[in-house]
Amino acid sequence: MSTTPDSLNDLRDRLRQFAADRDWEQFHVPKNLAMSVAIEAAEIMEHFQWLTPDESAALPAPQRAAVAREIADVLLYLVRLADVLDIDPVEAALDKMAINARKYPAVRGI
């Protein structure tokens, strides 16, 4: 993997150390981590549950900060899940974008 400073690789390494320091590797099996990603994704949704689409785009600062904390939780579990499965999430994302580009051709800016 790349040795240039990279935010996701840094998070990945910090999460490895965090789990090791607390003897938590035993809990970080893919099944549990996949559940965790979904649990935290639902906590993001909770902030938008009763809002209209327009209201969701105009969140007051305190709610936006709360959503940031839930986005953080999803990202952390996702990076950890990818790591324990030896998956490079950015490489996977770039591959998926290439697939999506062919499936949904651009209509503007061509």
The reply to whether 13 sits near its own copies by the rule CB under 8 A is no
Least separation in angstroms between CB 92 and its own copies: 4
Within positions 82 to 101, which residues make up the interface with its own copies, using CB under 8 A? 82, 84-87, 89-90, 92-97, 100-101
Based on the shown chain and the rule CB under 8 A, indicate whether residue 75 belongs to the binding site for its own copies: yes
Q: Which residues of 30-46 are buried (b: 16+ CB within 10 A; e: fewer)?
A: eeebeebbeebeeebee
Quick check: 70 and 47 in contact, CB under 8 A?
Answer: yes
CB of 37 to its own copies, least distance (A): 5
Among 3, 60, 102, 104, binds its own copies (CB under 8 A): 104
Please tell me the distance from the alpha carbon of residue 22 to that of residue 43, in angstroms, as a whole number: 25
Q: Does 8 bind its own copies (CB under 8 A)?
A: yes
Distance CA 48, CA 85 (A): 31
Quote the tokens at residue 110.
């061509």
- Give the Cα separation of 49 and 70 in Å (integer): 14
Region 14-73 residues binding its own copies, contact defined as CB under 8 A? 14-15, 17-18, 20-23, 27, 29-32, 34-39, 41-54, 56-57, 59, 64, 67-69, 71-73
